């Protein structure tokens, strides 16, 4: 096996392309579109990731092919962009990558979009067909221009609920498709809104499947598997993937009592601490799928730790991006509540402090990198908003972070919201229309709705309702199939947050508070105080209690008194899935 890997290394090192014409790659900006219009050319956008195996393969074959190179240089304006460094492009074209091959005209319209690796011969035929007929393959609606109409959501909601159920693989977990992974919005909706045994079983099978994505030597989770099972692994490890599965494993531990899931969550942290940790407390973006770019690394990743290290370590993308560091901090906060290991809280606070210190601009918005170059993306700011909301829910006494939350809410509403109630994908100019992204709009609406209830400033809940109206417009809903987070948003808009009140009396209660905050769904608020510090409206609930107690209340009723950690966990396991 070692001989095979070494022979592949020597073969690749022997290849050279000296003297060969190369593709004239350039960045994407407004000038690119001006030039395309002047020269009457189509723009090729090669959107890739530097950890992506098939991106490497496409560079080594298709984009190194002399016929492809000559044809591109003669007939196209060629743009290459790292999708991780360009969140406004990544979210726009995520269904087509990676690599994503996008052809645009001078008006910024998508002409042709293709997903994944394209061999040279087929790619050259595609290029020639576009030159012959550069008209867009499909009609495109500009979402920024949609005007709101009164529209019932009944049929759409019924369709989304059906599509949610149809999207699940009830046999082995994950989605009913070739690629196997667990997407958080789907997991969250299944966990907190469904009582169906088949869906509850799916949750457990999905967590078990996700464990098979784990690297047995170094820990951490590979991106996904193919072939409709969990055994055909794609070996890249992304920071955002680690954050996602830390959250999923934490909930599987809490709600299904699976202690090994907690171990897998901790292994994700151990992996990023060893391989992705930057000196300033942030984390690097990703680790490559390949030891040698373009060479499948299955043999390498089957080796034990010492044998791997003798051959080298797959490359690390040492960029530190705002959105995935914010996601990591959010997951660390949850893991702290679940495990009570203070090292996770320390790491989360360090990330949060560093992002506030180095990424916030004068408009109280967050840049993608410390350099602050380029556009301001909604993706980064929604991730920061989510982190700040979670931190304030856990630690409401921290008024400094509470102020940062308010500043960011106001900044997003001032700089991203459009007349039709949607939030545009980015601020700045790159030649493209800053189209609202459905998933980001759902997320920001959920966060604003919570913030409105938390602060009593219900103008924010009205903003969330308007965004929901945008999302259910026919022109928008045609762009998605299953959006369980939109169903979560609908449920949240129709009710008040689940209110958790802990009345401290005497010693103890810290464990109860911790587990309550860990188990609670997103749409929750917390009050923790002694009787004398409780709001007047809450004191009557606790008259007669002579020990620390928790009540969980909807707008209409409260739970039976909960006195212990075990009672709290059992309450959630028994009642989760009841949509209020």
pTM greater than the 0.85 cutoff: yes
pLDDT in tens, 536-551: 888 888 888 889 999 9
Whether residue 272 contacts residue 237, with contact meaning beta carbons closer than 8 Å, is answered with no
CATH number for region 498-575: 3.40.30
Residue numbers in the chain where pLDDT is lower than 70: 1-19, 373, 507-508, 578-580
What pLDDT, in 10s, does the model give residues 485-514? 999 999 999 999 999 999 988 766 788 999
- DSSP track, 165-219: HHTB-TTTSSBSSSSB---HHHHHHHHHH---HHHHHHHHHHHHHHHTTB-TTT-
Which pLDDT does position 438 carry in this prediction? Answer: 97
Look at residue 7 in the predicted model and tell me its pLDDT: 42
User: Could you read off the pLDDT of 196-238 as tens digits, one per residue?
Assistant: 999 999 999 999 999 999 999 999 999 999 999 999 999 999 9
CB 368 within 8 A of CB 323: yes
Other C-beta atoms closer than 10 Å to the C-beta of 114 total 16
- Cα–Cα distance list, 539 to 32, 220, 501, 527 (Å): 64, 46, 10, 12
pLDDT for the residue numbered 508: 67
Roughly how many angstroms between the first and final C-alpha of the chain, as a whole number?
A: 57
Annotate 32-81 with three-state secondary structure: HHHHHHHHCCEEEEEEECCCCHHHHHHHHCHHHCHHHHHHHHHHEEEEEE
Q: Name the architecture of domain 19-140.
A: 3-Layer(aba) Sandwich (3.40)
| Cβ–Cβ under 8 Å, residues 401 and 391 | yes
Structure tokens at 551: 């009540």
């Amino acid at each position: 096996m070692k001989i095979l890997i070494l022979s592949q290394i020597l073969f690749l090192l022997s290849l050279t392309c000296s003297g060969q014409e190369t593709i004239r790659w350039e960045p994407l900006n407004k000038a690119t579109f001006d030039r395309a219009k002047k020269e009457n050319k189509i723009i090729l956008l090669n959107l890739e990731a530097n950890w992506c195996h098939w991106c490497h393969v496409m560079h080594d074959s298709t984009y190194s092919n002399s016929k492809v190179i000559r044809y591109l240089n003669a007939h196209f304006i060629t743009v290459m962009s790292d999708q991780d460094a360009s969140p406004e492009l990544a979210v726009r074209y995520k269904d087509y990558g990676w690599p994503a091959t996008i052809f645009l005209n001078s008006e910024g319209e998508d002409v042709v979009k293709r997903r994944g690796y394209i061999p040279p011969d087929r790619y050259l035929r595609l290029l020639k067909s576009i030159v012959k007929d550069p008209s867009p393959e499909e009609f495109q609606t500009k979402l920024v221009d949609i005007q709101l109409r009164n529209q019932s959501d009944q049929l759409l909601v019924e369709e989304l609920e059906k599509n949610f159920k149809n999207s699940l693989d009830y046999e082995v977990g994950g989605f009913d498709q070739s690629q196997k992974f667990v997407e958080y919005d789907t997991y969250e909706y299944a966990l907190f809104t469904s009582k169906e045994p088949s869906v509850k079983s799916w949750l457990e099978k999905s967590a078990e499947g996700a464990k098979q994505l784990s690297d047995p030597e170094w820990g951490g989770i590979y991106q996904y598997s193919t072939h409709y099972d969990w055994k055909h692994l794609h070996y890249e490890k992304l920071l955002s993937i680690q954050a996602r599965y830390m959250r999923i494993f934490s909930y599987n531990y809490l709600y299904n009592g699976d202690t090994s899931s907690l171990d897998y969550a901790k292994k994700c942290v151990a992996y990023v601490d060893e391989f992705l940790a930057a000196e300033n407390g942030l984390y690097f973006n990703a680790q490559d799928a390949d030891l040698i770019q373009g060479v499948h690394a299955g043999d390498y990743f089957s080796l034990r730790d010492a044998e791997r290290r003798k051959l080298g370590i797959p490359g690390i993308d040492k960029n530190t991006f705002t959105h995935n560091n914010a996601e990591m901090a959010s997951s660390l906060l949850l893991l702290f509540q679940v495990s009570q290991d203070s090292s996770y809280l320390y790491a989360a606070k360090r990330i949060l402090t560093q992002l506030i210190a180095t990424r916030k601009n004068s408009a109280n918005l967050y840049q993608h990198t410390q350099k602050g170059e380029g556009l301001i993306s909604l993706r980064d700011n929604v991730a920061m908003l989510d982190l700040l909301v979670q931190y304030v829910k856990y630690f409401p006494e921290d008024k400094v972070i509470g102020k940062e939350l308010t500043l960011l809410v106001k900044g997003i509403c001032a700089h991203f919201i459009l007349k039709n109630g949607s939030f545009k994908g980015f601020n700045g100019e790159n030649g493209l229309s800053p189209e609202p992204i459905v998933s980001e709009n759902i997320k920001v609406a959920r966060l604003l709705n919570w913030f409105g209830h938390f602060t009593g400033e219900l103008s924010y809940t009205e903003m969330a309702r308007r965004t929901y109206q945008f999302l259910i417009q026919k022109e928008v809903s045609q762009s998605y199939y299953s959006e369980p987070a939109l169903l979560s948003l609908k449920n949240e808009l129709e009710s008040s947050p689940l209110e958790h009140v802990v009345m401290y009396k005497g010693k103890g209660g810290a464990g109860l508070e911790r587990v309550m905050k860990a188990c609670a769904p997103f749409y929750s608020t917390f009050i923790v105080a002694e009787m004398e510090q409780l709001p007047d409206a809450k004191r009557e609930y606790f008259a007669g209690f002579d020990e620390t107690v928790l009540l969980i209340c909807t707008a209409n009723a409260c739970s039976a008194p909960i006195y212990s950690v075990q009672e709290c966990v059992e309450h959630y396991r028994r009642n989760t899935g009841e949509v209020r």
